[in-house]
Amino acid sequence: MMTLDKILQSQGFGSRKGCRALVSGGFVQVGGQGAPDYTRGYDTAGLEFGVNGETWLYREKLYLALNKPGDIECSRKPSHHPSVLTLFPEQFAERNLQPVGRLDHDTTGLLLLSDDGAFIHAQSSPRRHVPKVYRATTARPVTAELVAALKAGVQLVDEPAPLQAVTCEALDEWRLEIVLEQGKYHQVKRMLAAAGNHCAALERIAIGRLRLDDLRLPPGKWTFLDESQLALLAAD
């Protein structure tokens, strides 16, 4: 059991004092009914509550997937473009929602976000070898030699050994699909440049077995991930 003011605070609706004011002001409903007593305790399992007429489900932790659009920065303090957090409800930022890894501002596609530090650390760890699938549009035609070089490994500046794709295949004359496990900085773009081409556009289409197409998210839209979807993020 948890008191209503603590529930609201845990869900990002403000300080304890502010949450008490929300309840006292009649802005909070539980079970479709007004809830004027912020000291009343509730079982949080499956708890639905309303704030200012909008219904929310209590979630101990947030696990989200976003179809990231272009010209959005994966940062709480962006430099030149809006923060990815502007695409989410304000209370999520209050819960310290963070991207799991980063996509460049001009890279689109599947991005995970969470307020669970252990989950973020585990998903970001290179030791897990979770494959990430990218679809790249190239500035020059895709050749068999390019695909072969990416699969064999290319040497990048500041890397002790060549980096290679898990798999790589041409989709058409200007696009290829590449699977990586390392997660190095700007890795797809740098590998293409090292192999003699250039990345004109880049989209991440899968992490592990979680595929963007299966989520059916238009650019800029997000969804909560359930247990079965989170299980798809595990390494094979």
**Whether 104 is catalytic:** yes
Contacts of 165 (CB under 8 A, 6+ apart): 150, 151, 178, 179, 180, 191
In a 10 Å sphere around its CB, with 0-12 CB exposed, 13-18 middle and 19+ buried, how is residue 229 labelled?
A: middle
Q: Strand 108-114 vs strand 199-207: parallel, antiparallel, or unpaired? A: parallel
Are the C-beta atoms of 103 and 74 separated by less than 8 Å? yes
In a 10 Å sphere around its CB, with 0-12 CB exposed, 13-18 middle and 19+ buried, how is residue 119 labelled?
A: middle
The one catalytic residue in 5, 43, 71, 104 is: 104
Q: Which residues are catalytic?
A: 104
